[in-house]
Amino acid sequence: MDMDAPKWKTLNSPFVSPCSGAAQLHDLLCANGEHSDIVLRKTKLFHSDLLKLDKQISPKQYAQLCFNATLSSGCAELAIKLGRQVLPSALGPWASGLIHAPDLGRALDFLISTTYRWSPLIDIQRRIENGNAHYLVYDAYGLLDDPLLKQFVMLSTFEAVRQSCEWLAGKNVCAQWQYTFEGSGEKLQWEAFSSLGELALFNQPYSAFSISEMLLAKPLNQSCSSIYHATQKKVLHEKSNSTGIVEIVRVKVNDSIQNIPSMEDIARSMSISTATLKRNLKQHNTSYQSIVDDCRAKTTYFLLNNKKMSEKEVAQHLNFYDVSNLRRAMKKWLVFG
């Protein structure tokens, strides 16, 4: 084993199984009348690659496949069908952890821990405020710059979570969940409303799904704590070797959002040089400052919308010099977000 190998994945790292959505999406597109060669254009993949269960592809290849899907007619319906197919099969040997979760909250925790298996282009972080649990969804590899591609991935992710939770806890458990999408969603709104319900909101400052905190304690019928904890332990070990560098930096920034560390501090904590960190982030179509701005923007709007803090309170919480400074930052986020 190379002890000097990086402890993170990049957008070109081959670790994504075809079962994580690529094989399902390919077949859905072909069933929709598309030719396999068209479905796989620019992915550098052949159909035979998707027939090998031990084959691993990169996030960049999977993102290109999803982008190709957005060019197809009925792309919103494809996203929903993909979400309905990907779980629990994408979890592979760890599916028992989801099936035997003791309660809904821990089932969702398990899904958060395993996004690298069932929705590898995103990562999810939970925040609890005012009696609601909010699951904020982030771009894990800087591959979701295209607005329609991002909404396609979010719709597929939300549908996968919704269907899994209804399967585990009953059809009505998701009735009052709220889903927020960034962007207008002109091509996705109708399908999102029909599948997720009227609480699907577009033109929001962040992508998330939100539920009542009380639902987290809802017991599940196939609960087995021993299997759940044993599987979760294995998953967390596997995830430690499957985390993207953008996610690592974002988590470090979010964890210190009131006193954001410098890029030099982040690089030091990762045992790499500042130049190496900067170069790696550039390869992911982002920068340290862009990640900081994104984290501060999402935290600001989250506190304003969900914690009902005033702009003055948010400015103090995030250590802005004053309210005017916060407002200038918000204008910049609206322009460049």
**CB within 8 Å of 328: residues ≥ 6 apart:** none
- Rounded mean pLDDT, 309-327: 86
Domain at 244-336: CATH architecture: Orthogonal Bundle (1.10)
Domain spans of the chain, in order of start: 74-238, 244-336
**CB within 8 Å of 270: residues ≥ 6 apart:** 7, 248, 277
- Rounded mean pLDDT, 77-94: 95
pLDDT digits (tens, 9 = 90+) for 43-74: 999 999 999 888 999 999 999 999 999 998 88
**CB within 8 Å of 226: residues ≥ 6 apart:** none
Residue 3 pLDDT > 50? no
DSSP class per residue in 52-113 = -TT--B-HHHHHHHHHHHHTSTTHHHHHHHHHHHHTTGGGGGGHHHHHT-SBHHHHHHHHHH
What's this model's pTM, rounded to 2 decimal places? 0.92
Backbone angles phi and psi of 127, in degrees to 5: -135, 140
The pLDDT confidence band at residue 4, using thresholds 50, 70 and 90, is very low
Residue 334 pLDDT > 70? no
pLDDT digits (tens, 9 = 90+) for 176-187: 899 999 887 777
